Amino acid sequence: MYSNDLIRGTLRTIILKLLSEQDSMYGYEMTQLVRERTKDKIVITEGALYPLLHQLEAEGVVTTESVSIGKRVRKYYKLTKPGKKVAREKVSEFDEFLHTMQILLDLKPI
Q: Which residues make up the interface to a second copy (CB under 8 A)? A: 2-3, 5-10, 12-14, 17, 21, 34, 37-38, 41-42, 91, 93-107, 109-110
**Pairwise CA distance, residues 15 & 96, whole Å:** 18
33 with 52: CB under 8 angstroms?
A: no
- Coil vs helix vs strand at 45: coil
1 vs 69, beta carbon nearer a second copy: 1
51 binds, among a second copy, DNA, none (CB under 5 to 8 A by kind): DNA
26 near DNA (CB under 7 A):
yes
98 with 34: CB under 8 angstroms?
A: no
60 near DNA (CB under 7 A):
no
73 near DNA (CB under 7 A):
yes
**Pairwise CA distance, residues 3 & 83, whole Å:** 30
Give the CA radius of gyration of the chain.
Answer: 15
33 vs 88, beta carbon nearer DNA: 33
Please report, as ranges, the residues that interact with DNA according to CB under 7 A.
4-5, 7-12, 26-29, 32, 45-48, 50-54, 69-75
